Amino acid sequence: MTFDAIVVGSGMSGGWAAKELAEKGLKTLVIERGGHLEHGADYTDSLSPWELENYGLVKEAEAAEHYGIQSQCYAFSTATKHLWVKDSEHPYTTPEGRPFMWIRGYHLGGRSIMWARQSYRLSDMDFQSNARDGHGSDWPVRYEDMAPWYDHVEQFAGISGSREGLPQLPDGQFLPPMDLTGAEKDFKQKLEAAYPTRRLIIGRCAHLTEAKPHHEELGRIACQYRSLCERGCSYGSYFSSLSATLPAAQRTGNLTIVTDSIVHSVIYDPKTGKASGVRVIDAKTKQGRTYEGKVVFLCASAIPTAQIMLNSKSEAFPNGIANRSDAVGRYLMDHLSGMGASGTYPGFEQNYHSGRRPNGFYIPRYRNVTEPTEGLLRGYGFQGGVMRDNWRRGLGQAGVGPEFKASLRKPGPWRIHLSGFGEMLPRPDNRVTLHPTRTDKWGMPIVHIDVSLGDNERRMVEQVGADAKEMLERAGATGVSVRKHYGGAGLGIHEMGTAHMGKDPTKSVLNKYNQAHDVPNLFITDGACMASGGCQNPSLSYMAMSARGAHYAVQFLREGVI
């Protein structure tokens, strides 16, 4: 079958590529390796806690046998189990002593269903970081190239936030911000007094605090503050491929979706020097078939995109398609995560909150922004919150009987927590390769993921913990406990960099249009394209890259350049 455009993957990036390509008139095929997921019907957001199977607890033996990695994700429960892969069915290898926790969902919409919805722009500082300190390839784009595309995707997706005028975290086209609790405002004031150039802002998140007509047209309504987001939102109140981009693509009449179809490789035509389509393995029958297209977008997420490229071998590309640079699979990055601090925030016994805000506060990066730091490159930001505790404070407490019950009936003290997200340097040795011998049950070579921390990352893990502790203590928090334990590579769930953009075709994979240097009609707009990761949650950047890449792909097709 022949299409104008083929998009591999239906998650955050694939949904955007499909929407933009279809809206510009291209007959577009989206290929999803997982099964169909129906917006609304396949969500579990109508269930109260007591209605969840096993109160949310996934059978231990099943979790150990099939979900050893996925069960490490905070959002894994009986309410969401159908949204995570079975690790037992989708194996990969890692070197001894260097685990990589690869958190994945294979279904229509991908991880746009379970994502944490924090949405931040990269800044010009981020686009210049590689050039400045010499790590990785200089980005071939700057913030001014991306700014209109951030505007474009924010308006459509619906991003709630406050305008702050911070150079390291550019403002966007925001829906109204969610409110900080009074205790958060108090912490903000104390923090900003103690550290004059640090800022605390409300998190920017992909939630409709107000549904505009173009959101309502797609059946999306304003957030109802249930905070059941990782189960899927039947109201479409947060942005996902299923609530927003795929329905928008669908209504053009130009979209075809195939599910249960695993892309094996991109087909290269040596006569034209272009990609002619993709080979697919049917997930159910294991039969092979091909689809042809004038342009191919790889949006399979960073690791599978590299896997597909490395598996697309031909005489012209013995090491994988568009890989003359040997950069495909290299420079894999995640965000350092799991470090932070928490404590009790005294006072405010007469105040509480009502509703469940699916968002927290954010402390944008200050290291090497306003606070130059000797011996440390790049930086980190913090997500956090100050909320009153509930009965869960009783879990580690001694106590039984009527007094114990009476004490847990009352709201607990205000608790504060900070969680750091740190930038990893792009390093060529952090890479994905194809396993030399092992294949999965569909005959696809499995990936070998080799990621380790460098000196800068190790220093950063320590510094994040130390900063979190100091900020809490200076604001008067008590009983502060610090997490300097780095959760492990992968658990940031922000894989990036495996087919990165760069100016030099001998060192990078993509040019400034997200177009492969070596194959002009091959575009990659998922996390693979990132030349550096910043410390911001990256999904908004993938959205902007996808919309922008689609724009140029259509322009080049019309001009007959590709």
Partner 1 sequence: MQSTELAIDRRALLRSAILLVGGSMAGLPGEAFAQGKKLTKARFFTPAQYSVLDETAEIIIPKTDTPGARAAGVPSIIDDLMANWASAERGANFRALMDDIDRRALAAGGASLRALPPARRLEFVRAYDAEKIGAKDPVYSRLKELVLTTYYLSEAGATQELRYELVPGKWEAWTTIGPDARAWAV
Site for partner 1, rule CB under 8 A: 38, 41-42, 44, 46-55, 57-61, 64, 78, 82, 178-182, 184, 224-226, 350-357, 388, 390-392, 394-402, 404-406, 408-412
Rounded distance between C-alpha atoms, residue 118 and residue 421, angstroms: 12
> How many CB atoms sit inside 10 A of residue 210's CB?
12
> How many CB atoms sit inside 10 A of residue 422's CB?
28
Nearer to partner 1, 69 or 205 (CB): 205
Q: Per the structure block, which two tokens stand in for 471?
A: 């900020």
Nearer to partner 1, 118 or 337 (CB): 118
Nearer to partner 1, 367 or 388 (CB): 388
Residue 434's H or E segment, with its range, is strand 431-439
SS3 of 223-248: the string is CCCCCCHHHCCCCCCECCHHHHHHHH
Q: Where are the alpha helices (DSSP H) in 393-506?
A: 401-409, 455-474
Cα-flanking dihedrals φ and ψ of residue 180, to 5°? -80, 150
Residue 145's H or E segment, with its range, is helix 143-157
Residue 147 identity (one-letter amino acid): A
**Partners of 35 in the beta sheet?**
107
Nearer to partner 1, 52 or 147 (CB): 52
- Nearest approach, Cβ of 419 to partner 1 (angstroms)? 20
Query: Which residue in this structure is represented by tokens 């619906």?
Result: 158
Nearer to partner 1, 259 or 511 (CB): 259
Cα-flanking dihedrals φ and ψ of residue 269, to 5°? -105, 110
Residue 233 CB partners (closer than 8 Å, separation 6+):
43, 45, 240, 243
Distances 423 to 252, 363, 376 between C-alpha atoms, Å: 39, 15, 11
Nearer to partner 1, 44 or 241 (CB): 44
- Nearest approach, Cβ of 234 to partner 1 (angstroms)? 11
Query: Which residue in this structure is represented by tokens 């002009």?
Result: 520
Q: What is the DSSP string of 274-337?
A: EEEEEEEEETTT--EEEEEEEEEEE-S-HHHHHHHHHT---SS-TTSTT-TTS-TT-S-B-EE-
Q: What is the DSSP string of 499-513?
A: T-B-S-TTT-SB-TT
Q: Which has the closest alpha carbon to 353: 180, 478, 230, 222?
A: 180
Q: Which letter does DSSP use for residue 128 in this model?
A: H
Q: Per the structure block, which two tokens stand in for 223?
A: 């957030």
Contact 235/227 with Cβ under 8 angstroms? no
Chain centroid to CA 455:
25
Q: Which letter does DSSP use for residue 214 in this model?
A: H
Residue 470 CB partners (closer than 8 Å, separation 6+):
none
**Partners of 421 in the beta sheet?**
381
Q: Which letter does DSSP use for residue 257 in this model?
A: E
Residue 454 CB partners (closer than 8 Å, separation 6+):
425, 427
> How many CB atoms sit inside 10 A of residue 154's CB?
25
- Nearest approach, Cβ of 115 to partner 1 (angstroms)? 20
Contact 330/323 with Cβ under 8 angstroms? no
